């Protein structure tokens, strides 16, 4: 992290501070001078977008918490009070609710970018794992946040997700029940559950912020990966973070905000579910329980397995795969730009995940392809549950079969010797051939 | 706070829900619904630039007050809300003090709300003030059910956001009552409505392939032609009354909707302009870097 500082304290007070807490030096090194590969494309702007998303969620969330009442009898109305009586409450709430969706949209693109350019490979495994932890924390936070308005879908969602843990009864009798009772703060989802979810929903974002700090630290040790997947070899390959990436990220963040604002102002409930405008009623179960869109692929995996315990394991396992990824991919080539075969499998993987998301929004017995009707006039054919089984198998195969084997058998295309090679005129290399023999040693 | 009996019921319901989830891939009942009706002339508030039609909201409020309010509560609304900016009875002169508006005072004064006499502690009825919430027709849920054949008329405050299709759904339900097709058994006190989501398979005597769309609803047909007399002379057809009350309910469901869209337009223009400037800065800063 150090070594590229050009900071020279100019005034007396700066020199005084620099000798005691070199915080200005630190800021200059990490956010201004930090050498960054010059070939990062727009897919790389999502890191900055995510940082802004986190700030937006925390700021709007803190304000919402000033008006929200975490009580089973009052939560629903307190949210409506925010929408009606609090100055710009509607804006703050819609930013927070849609901000969660934007956050996930951005994190999915950020993860997909990492998958494509091999950003999880050595020496960036810790960086990648910290990212996976952030993603897990985001899921927990979003889930608990969705419970807070205490509508019908909030309640049903809380019941479905917390009772997943009861599957543990099949391993150690009583364990699952004990955990669910402990999560609920009683014998059913109720006011006590709501209250503790609110507490945790307020806590977790600050834990996310902490892990984001580590994530950025872990990024600044090996430095950014880049679309070629080739480590930088010379100063030629780099530009200082500021102004080059502040302006590029700034442009991308602003463009992203156009999409965000479109949802907030013109379609604020398009991503929600109408049932959540009905106050929670334990005696009425919604006809179709669907989670928020960003959980649908995992919901589909859960439901694709007929046995509950294995369904739960399959669901959590699908996320565990991400953690193991750095050691599952055996290829020496980092970027899939130079792995034509792997690239096809990755595109299929993304499509399979989107397909799983589609399945998660349908009923398992719905038909993908209807071939006929049975005696009750119910359609028969290729059902959603079978489709999600096939997709889930591919999801797993990508991690445990395709990536480990492909790295051993595929023939990658020619990898450029330096970052600058692909952009220079034909045959040109940024530096004399001899210099390549001593690539900068990092990590 | 959940009372003990409620807690037990919750626990039972929770277990029931678990059973449903545990069963997993059991085929769910097929809920059907006829495609929603086109609203004649459409709703003025639809689309990113839509605005509420104040006259329509006023008529809609009258329909609500004279018809729906005898069964449905609207507990999130206060009389003062009717006069706030964007509301049906908004008037520039009381911009900053909607509760002072004579319209709202008059509307509220016509309604008697329950209260406690501060001197004697007796339960009394007094004229409402603009600060009061809309009067609920029933003192509690059992009373509401008892008067409606066991069904509970839902609170209408956010109804237009609580159903797929929103105002269009409300319009379709209110105007959609038709005689049940021969072969469909409807229990007494229930009514056939093709726009109410339901599964009529078990009350249908005909072939499984021709089960009528829709379901049964415990609310009788309300908006007969001329049921409400509009002060502005608008002909009081079933369709007009339904469209106006749906407009009013769209506003109560989100009173800040128009403010939101207007702010959105300004934000969009600003963001697009700002993004353009950032793009030009980006091009300028990077102009000498091959990448």
User: CA A191, CA B7: separation in Å to the nearest integer?
Assistant: 10
Chain B (227-286) residues lying within 8 Å, Cβ to Cβ, of chain A: 253-256, 259-261, 263-265, 267-268, 271-272, 274-275, 278-279, 281-282, 285-286
Bridge-partner residues for A381, per DSSP?
A370
| DSSP H/E element including A434 | helix A433-436
Question: Is B154 within 8 Å of B72 (Cβ atoms)?
Answer: yes
Domains and CATH numbers, chain B: 36-44+51-276 (1.10.760.10)
In A275-321, where do the E strands start and end? none
pLDDT confidence bin for A342, thresholds 50/70/90: very high
CA dihedral B223, B224, B227, B233 (to 10 degrees): 90
Percentage of residues in chain A with pLDDT exceeding 90?
88
**B76 and chain A: CB distance < 8 Å anywhere?**
yes
pLDDT confidence bin for A1, thresholds 50/70/90: very low
Specify the residue for token string 């694709």: A304
- Convert the pLDDT of each residue in A149-172 to its tens digit: 999 999 999 999 999 999 999 999
CB contact under 8 A, B17 and A159: yes
| DSSP H/E element including A372 | strand A367-373
How many other β-carbons are positioned within 10 Å of the β-carbon of residue A388?
29
Angle at A351 between CA A345 and CA A352, to 5 degrees: 85
| DSSP H/E element including A353 | helix A340-360
Closest chain A residue to B279 measured between Cα atoms? A251
- Convert the pLDDT of each residue in A199-246 to its tens digit: 999 999 999 999 999 999 999 999 999 999 999 999 889 999 999 999
Min mean pLDDT across A111-125, A410-424, B149-163, B250-264 is at: A410-424
Best mutation target, B12, B46, B260, B289, to test chain A (most A CBs within 10 A): B260
User: CA B187, CA A76: separation in Å to the nearest integer?
Assistant: 34
Domains and CATH numbers, chain A: 30-291 (1.20.810.10), 293-329+340-411 (1.10.287)
CB contact under 8 A, B161 and A277: yes
| DSSP H/E element including A145 | helix A125-147
Best mutation target, A158, A265, A281, A385, to test chain B (most B CBs within 10 A): A265
The pLDDT value recorded for residue B1 is 37
The pLDDT value recorded for residue B18 is 41
User: CA A344, CA A406: separation in Å to the nearest integer?
Assistant: 12
3-state secondary structure of A371: strand
Q: Minimal CA–CA distance to B169: which of B110, B229, B74, B245?
A: B245
Burial label for A310, CB within 10 Å (0-12, 13-18, 19+), is: middle
Of B18, B208, B261, the CB nearest to A266: B261
Is residue A69's pLDDT more than 80?
yes
DSSP letters along B168-222, please? Answer: HHHHHHHH---PPPTTB---TT-EEETTS-B--GGGB-S-GGGPPSSEEESSPP-
pLDDT confidence bin for A420, thresholds 50/70/90: confident
The pLDDT value recorded for residue B29 is 54
Is residue A4's pLDDT more than 70?
no
In A24-72, where do the E strands start and end? 35-37
The pLDDT value recorded for residue A436 is 39
Average pLDDT over residues A241-255: 97
| Residue with more model confidence, B51 or A437 | B51
The pLDDT value recorded for residue A3 is 53
User: CA A219, CA A34: separation in Å to the nearest integer?
Assistant: 11
Is residue A273's pLDDT more than 70?
yes
Length of chain A in terms of residues written: 443
Min mean pLDDT across A191-200, A324-333, A342-351, B8-17 is at: B8-17
The per-residue pLDDT string of chain B (291 residues; one tens digit each, 9 = 90 and over) reads 334 444 444 444 444 444 444 333 333 457 899 999 999 999 999 999 999 999 999 999 999 999 999 999 999 999 999 999 999 999 999 888 888 999 999 999 999 999 999 999 999 999 999 999 999 999 999 999 999 999 999 999 999 999 999 999 999 999 999 999 999 999 999 999 999 999 999 999 988 889 999 999 999 999 999 999 999 999 999 999 999 999 999 999 999 999 999 999 999 999 999 999 999 999 999 998 877
Question: Is B29 within 8 Å of B196 (Cβ atoms)?
Answer: no
DSSP letters along A181-211, please? Answer: HHHHTSSSSSHHHHHHHHHHHHHHHHHHHHH
A255 CA: distance to closest CA in chain B (Å): 6
A328 CA: distance to closest CA in chain B (Å): 32
Please enumerate in sequence order all residues whose Cβ is within 8 A of that of A200, keeping only pairs 6 or more positions apart, or say none: A140, A144
Angle at A264 between CA A259 and CA A270, to 5 degrees: 90
Angle at A83 between CA A77 and CA A89, to 5 degrees: 125
- Chain A neighbors of B2, CB-CB under 8 A: 72, 190-191
pTM of the model: 0.91
A205 CA: distance to closest CA in chain B (Å): 27
3-state secondary structure of A379: strand
**B49 and chain A: CB distance < 8 Å anywhere?**
no
Is residue A317's pLDDT more than 70?
yes
| DSSP H/E element including A381 | strand A379-383
C-alpha Rg value of chain B to the nearest Å = 25
CB contact under 8 A, A247 and B272: no
C-alpha Rg value of chain A to the nearest Å = 25
């Amino acid at each position: 992290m150090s070594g590229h500082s050009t900071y020279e304290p100019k005034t007396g007070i700066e020199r005084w501070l620099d000798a005691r807490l070199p915080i200005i030096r630190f800021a200059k090194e990490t956010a201004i001078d930090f050498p960054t590969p010059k070939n990062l494309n727009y897919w790389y702007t999502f890191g900055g977008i995510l940082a802004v998303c986190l700030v937006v969620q925390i700021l709007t969330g803190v304000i919402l918490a000033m008006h929200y009442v975490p009580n089973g009898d009052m939560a629903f109305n307190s949210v409506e009070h925010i929408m009606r009586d609090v100055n710009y409450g509607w804006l703050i709430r819609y930013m927070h609710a849609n901000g969660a969706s934007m956050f996930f949209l951005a994190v999915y693109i950020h993860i997909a970018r990492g998958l494509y350019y091999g950003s999880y490979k050595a020496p960036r495994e810790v960086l990648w794992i910290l990212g996976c932890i952030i993603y897990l924390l985001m899921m927990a936070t979003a889930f608990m946040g969705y419970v807070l308005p205490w509508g019908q879908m909030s309640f049903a969602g809380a019941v479905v997700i917390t009772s997943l843990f009861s599957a543990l009864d099949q391993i150690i009798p009583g364990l699952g029940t004990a955990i669910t009772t402990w999560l609920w703060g009683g014998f059913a989802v109720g006011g006590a559950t709501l209250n503790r979810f609110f507490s945790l929903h307020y806590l977790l974002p600050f834990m996310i912020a902490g892990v984001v700090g580590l994530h950025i630290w872990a990024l600044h040790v090996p430095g950014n990966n880049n679309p070629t997947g080739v480590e930088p070899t010379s100063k030629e390959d780099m530009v200082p973070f500021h102004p080059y990436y502040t302006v590029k990220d700034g442009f991308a963040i602003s463009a992203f905000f156009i999409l965000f604002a479109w949802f907030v102002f013109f379609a604020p409930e398009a991503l929600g579910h109408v049932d959540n405008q009905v106050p929670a009623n334990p005696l009425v179960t919604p006809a179709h329980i669907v989670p928020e869109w960003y959980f649908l692929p995992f919901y589909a995996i859960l439901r694709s397995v007929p046995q509950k315990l294995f369904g739960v394991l399959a669901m959590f396992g699908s996320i565990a795969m991400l953690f193991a990824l750095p050691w599952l991919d055996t290829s020496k080539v980092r970027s899939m730009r130079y792995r034509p075969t792997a690239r096809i499998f990755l595109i299929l993987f993304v499509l399979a995940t989107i397909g799983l998301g589609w399945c998660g929004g349908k009923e398992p017995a719905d038909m993908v392809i209807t071939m006929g009707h049975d005696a009750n006039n119910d359609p028969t054919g290729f059902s959603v549950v079978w489709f999600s089984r096939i997709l889930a198998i591919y999801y797993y195969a990508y991690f445990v079969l395709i990536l480990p084997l492909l790295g051993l058998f595929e023939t990658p295309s020619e990898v450029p010797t330096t970052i600058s090679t692909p952009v220079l005129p034909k045959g040109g290399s940024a530096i004399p051939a001899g210099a390549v023999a001593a690539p900068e040693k990092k990590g | 706070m959940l009372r003990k009996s409620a807690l037990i019921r919750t626990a039972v319901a929770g277990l029931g829900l678990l059973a449903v989830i545990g069963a997993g891939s059991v085929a769910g009942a097929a809920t059907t619904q006829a495609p929603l009706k086109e609203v004649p002339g459409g709703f003025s508030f639809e689309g990113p630039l839509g605005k509420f039609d104040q006259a329509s909201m006023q008529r809609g409020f009258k329909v609500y007050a004279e018809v729906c309010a005898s069964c449905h509560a609207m507990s999130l609304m206060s009389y003062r809300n009717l006069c706030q900016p964007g509301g049906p009875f908004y008037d520039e002169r009381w911009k900053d003090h909607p509760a002072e508006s004579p319209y709202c005072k008059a509307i509220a004064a016509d309604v008697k709300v329950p209260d406690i006499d501060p001197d004697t502690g007796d339960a009394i009825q007094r004229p409402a003030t603009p600060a009061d919430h809309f009067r609920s027709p029933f003192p509690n849920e059992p009373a509401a059910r008892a008067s409606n054949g066991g069904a509970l008329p839902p609170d209408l405050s956010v109804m237009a956001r609580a159903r797929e299709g929103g105002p269009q759904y409300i319009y379709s339900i209110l105007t959609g009552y038709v005689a049940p097709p021969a072969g469909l058994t409807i229990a007494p006190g229930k009514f056939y409505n093709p726009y109410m989501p339901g599964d009529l398979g078990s009350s249908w005597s005909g072939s499984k392939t021709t089960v009528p769309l829709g379901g049964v609803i415990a609310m009788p047909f309300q908006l007969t032609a001329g049921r409400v007399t509009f002060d502005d002379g608008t002909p009081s057809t079933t369709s007009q009354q339904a469209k106006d009350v749906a407009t009013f309910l769209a506003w109560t469901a989100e009173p800040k909707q128009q403010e939101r869209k207007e702010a959105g337009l300004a934000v969009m223009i600003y963001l697009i302009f700002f993004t353009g400037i950032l793009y030009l800065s980006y091009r300028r800063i990077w102009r000498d870097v091959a990448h």
